[in-house]
């Protein structure tokens, strides 16, 4: 006869065996969140002018930007990117004197694309995202989460200006020391994840026509010191090693959790400001220049040719943007051999530079006979 006591004993033994063999951590109080995996992300530069580089190498229309590569723009320069790895068709204009990178993480039920503006100014234009995709724009002081909208970030010293032109943005302060940790550690750390959940409570929803300045949450020096060792850890591709580093970090941060919480509680979001109507109208008109390529062309091996066709079809509009960047009308440089090159002409020393929709060209003064206005 099967007794009630025998039945209960059998269930308990089966549960214990399941825990021991599966390693699911049901009774492990230290078990942290399930970490993600690296998600390769790429984008294509659809249009650029001036001094634009990717990882220090000159870049131009058609250049592919991969995960963690740094896009830099100089003075009187910008680059328009379209993200290939997002269903949102995300378009990003990186303005002058800026640094920018893309990365991605793949989790059990969704993927996350992170666009990081390290310095400078960038515009973002996203279509509606699918439910299994998150797109976050980050700067040293803010994280902006969206479902589909037009907005911009501008890094200004110890704060970031967030402006929304269409749709809405959820902006929260950033704790750079914790959020710059290697993802293999950050995603396994219970203390870090608990802290980021607390930060979500400081989230500010900005609607279209609103702007605010977001400062980072500062940590005490002793907390930063505790993070440095985890930040410098190696061998994190090994899950066991990453787990070890995360647990060690949690032990160090537990002692300083009160100081971290105090820093978060002290943060108070400034009230949102209204963007003046003329500025709002001007910015929305600029977004009309962010013309997307079809996804199939964007991912094709012949993307460079598709980009050139796109720019030729929109040459008038794109040339007007170059003129605005330099605050100068187009001219025609006449060469000694009779050739004519039209665009924005800038003379630096004894060299003439002509900025066109197809890029920039340079001619020594000795080859130039004049300029036609």
Residue 332 domain-assigned? yes
Cβ-based neighbour number of residue 330 at 10 Å: 17
Domain range for 358 is 307-372
pLDDT of residue 9: 52
Residue 324 domain-assigned? yes
Q: Write the Ramachandran bin of 138: left for phi over 0, alpha for psi from -120 to 50, otherwise beta.
A: beta
CATH code of the domain covering residue 354: 2.30.30.100
Residue 21 domain-assigned? yes
- Whether the Cβ atoms of residue 45 and residue 62 lie closer than 8 Å to each other: yes
Residue 13 domain-assigned? yes
Residue 43 domain-assigned? no
pLDDT of residue 21: 40
Residue 163 domain-assigned? no
Compute the distance between CA of residue 276 and CA of residue 13 in angstroms, rounded to an integer. Answer: 68
Q: pLDDT tens per residue, the chain (373 residues)?
A: 445 445 455 544 444 444 444 444 333 334 555 789 999 999 999 999 999 999 999 999 999 999 999 999 999 999 999 999 888 889 999 999 999 999 999 998 899 999 999 999 999 999 888 889 999 999 999 999 987 799 999 999 899 999 999 999 999 999 988 999 999 999 999 999 999 999 999 999 999 999 999 998 888 888 888 888 898 899 999 999 999 999 999 999 998 888 888 889 889 888 999 999 999 999 999 999 999 999 889 888 889 999 999 999 999 999 999 999 999 999 999 999 999 999 999 999 999 999 999 889 999 999 999 999 8
**Burial (0-12, 13-18, 19+ Cβ within 10 Å), 363:** middle
Residue 174 domain-assigned? no
Residue 199 domain-assigned? no
- Whether the Cβ atoms of residue 62 and residue 56 lie closer than 8 Å to each other: no
pLDDT of residue 24: 40
CA-CA distances (angstroms) from residue 355 to 179, 318, 326, 361? 39, 11, 10, 7
How many structural domains comprise the chain?
2
CA 366 distance to own-chain centroid: 44
pLDDT of residue 94: 98
Encoded tokens for 8:
């209960």
């Amino acid at each position: 006869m099967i007794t009630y006591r025998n039945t209960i004993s059998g269930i308990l033994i089966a549960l214990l065996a399941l825990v021991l063999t599966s390693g699911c951590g049901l009774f492990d109080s230290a078990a942290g969140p399930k970490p993600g995996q690296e998600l390769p992300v790429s984008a294509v530069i659809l249009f650029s002018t001036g001094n634009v580089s990717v990882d220090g190498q000159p870049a131009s229309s058609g250049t592919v930007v991969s995960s963690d590569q740094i896009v830099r723009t100089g003075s009187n320069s910008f680059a328009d990117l379209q993200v290939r790895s997002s269903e949102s068709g995300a378009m990003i204009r990186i303005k002058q004197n800026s640094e920018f990178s893309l990365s991605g993480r793949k989790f059990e039920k969704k993927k996350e694309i992170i666009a990081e503006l390290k310095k400078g100014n960038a515009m973002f234009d996203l279509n509606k995202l699918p439910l299994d995709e998150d797109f976050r724009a980050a700067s040293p002081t803010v994280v902006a989460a969206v479902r589909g909208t037009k907005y911009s970030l501008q890094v200004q010293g110890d704060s970031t200006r967030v402006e929304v032109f269409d749709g809405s943005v959820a902006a929260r302060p950033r704790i750079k020391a914790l959020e710059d940790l290697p993802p293999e550690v950050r995603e396994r750390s219970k203390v870090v994840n608990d802290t980021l959940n607390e930060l979500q409570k400081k989230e500010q929803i900005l609607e279209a026509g609103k702007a605010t300045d977001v400062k980072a949450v500062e940590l005490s020096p002793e907390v930063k010191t505790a993070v440095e060792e985890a930040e410098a850890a190696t061998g994190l591709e090994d899950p066991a090693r990453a787990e070890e580093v995360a647990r060690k970090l949690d032990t160090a941060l537990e002692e300083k959790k009160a100081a971290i919480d105090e820093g978060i509680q002290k943060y108070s979001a400034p009230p949102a400001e209204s963007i003046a109507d003329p500025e709002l109208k001007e910015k929305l008109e600029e977004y009309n220049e962010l013309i997307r390529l079809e996804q199939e062309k964007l991912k094709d091996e012949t993307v460079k040719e598709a980009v050139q066709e796109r720019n030729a079809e929109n040459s008038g509009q794109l040339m007007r943007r170059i003129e605005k960047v330099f605050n100068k009308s187009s001219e025609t440089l006449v060469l000694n051999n009779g050739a004519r090159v039209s665009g924005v002409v800038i003379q630096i020393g004894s060299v003439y530079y002509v900025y066109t929709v197809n890029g920039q060209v340079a001619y020594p003064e000795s080859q130039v006979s004049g300029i036609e206005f």
